Structure 1
Amino acid sequence: MKSFNYYLLLVVVPLLAFTTAHKYYVSITEVHYVKEKESVQIITRIFIDDLEKLVRARFDESITLAVKNESEKVDFYLEKYLTEKIKIKINGKDAVLQFIGKEYEDDVAICYIEIPKIDHISEIEVQNLVLFDIFEEQQNVVRLNINDKKKSFILFKENDKGLLKLD
């Protein structure tokens, strides 16, 4: 009987542990300045299921991401949302973000954004509000690599901006 209880415990405890798994809400945004191209290149990685929940809530309930026949509207929705929620100031001036496109890798959507015609950066401020309107626990990691200076921020609803001064 003792061995039966022991084996039952070995089976039941792990099952209970995984039924209350915690979900993390995080995105990672990398911002690189490519001086030779006079371009700020931005790569944002967001979990597909979180992004799909957002697109369905804000734009179209019938949208499914990362499927073979994905709606052509997805890029339009992502461009609209990301250019609203990611704000960048370069040298104190608002930058205009251009959505380049996206691809999927495993369970992550990788979105590409660019700010062209930037010949010098003395200061850059990044505000990232992505998914704050859907998930209270959302955190956005921002990694800057500007003129060989690197800095990282963890942004959340109450602290949604990061600043890097270079001069």
Structure 2
Amino acid sequence: MKIPKYYLLLVLIPLLAFTSAHKYYVSISEIQYVKEQQSVQIISRIFIDDLEKLVRQRYDESITLAIKNESEKVDFYLEKYFKEKFHIQINGTAVQLKFIGKEYDNDIAICYIEIPRIETISEFEITNKLLFDVFEEQQNVVRLDINDTQKSFILTYHNDTGVLKLD
């Protein structure tokens, strides 16, 4: 039985999340088109320590993530960063991301994003450069579920874009 790479990563991330330091850098983004709501819904999972390092390097050295009284600036910084590094084109047109928020689960930050008012999708292009400016060896797994078609990409520093063309 052949196991798809993204399923392996989905299993490995929680198991390895309990180590204090990791030597691999990966994020997983699940993107689903909900036709009834005319909405593209995105869930991105990123290691908290990697995200914290990014926020400290880029925006504010004093920020600490996943603490009781976390700074209100964190969501602002994350939204800004996602809009800079996570780009989507639908049917050849760039779309705006709406950052909904985030929550934490063990060592993982789960970020929620939406693209509202999408009537149809015939072509979906994603460029995911999350954390490449911090870790060149970063890999961003993207799993698409659009119009009953599933497709996965492993995006890297040198190959950061994936395209799904639907018939």
TM-score (norm 2): 0.87
**Separation of aligned partners in 2, 1:24 and 1:54:** 15
Structure 1 counterpart of 2:110, one-letter code: I
Structure 1: stretches of 5+ with no match in the other structure: 1-20
Amino acid at match of 1:106: N
Mapped pair 1:111 → 2:111: yes
Give the match's secondary structure for 2:124: strand
Structure ID, larger Rg: 1
Structure 1 residue identity aligned to 2:75 = D
Partner-residue secondary structure (3-state), 2:65: coil
Task: List, as ranges, runs of 4+ consecutive aligned residues in structure 1 with deviation greater than 4 Å.
Answer: none
Query: For 2:44 and 2:69, how far apart are their aligned partners in 1?
Result: 23
Structure 2 residue 93 is the aligned partner of structure 1 residue 79: no
Q: What number of residue pairs does the alignment pair up?
A: 147
What residue in structure 1 maps to residue 153 of structure 2?
A: 153
* C-alpha deviation, 1:136, in angstroms: 1.2
Whether 2:23 is the aligned partner of 1:23: answer: yes
Unpaired segments of 5 or more residues in structure 2? 1-20
| Structure-2 residue corresponding to 1:165 | 165
The 5 A counterparts of 1:116-127 are 116-127=116-127
Residue 134 of structure 1: CA displacement? 0.3
Which residue in the other structure is 2:11 paired with?
none
For 1:45 and 1:80, the matched residues in 2 are separated by: 17
2:63 matched residue in structure 1: 63
Deviation at 1:102, TM superposition (A): 0.2
**Aligned AA for 1:59?**
Y
What aligned pairs does 1:39-58 form with structure 2 within 5 A after superposition?
39-58=39-58
CA displacement at 1:24 relative to structure 2? 0.5
TM-score norm. by structure 1 comes to 0.87
CA distance in 2, matches of 1:108, 1:82: 16
Query: Partner of 2:92 in structure 1?
Result: 92
Cα distance in 1 between the residues matched to 2:105 and 2:83 = 22
Q: Secondary structure at the match of 1:135?
A: coil
User: Does structure 1 residue 144 correspond to structure 2 residue 144?
Assistant: yes
Name the Cα RMSD after superposition.
Answer: 0.9
1:59-108 CA-to-partner distances (Å, cap 9, x unmatched) read: 00000000000000000000000111100000000011000000000100
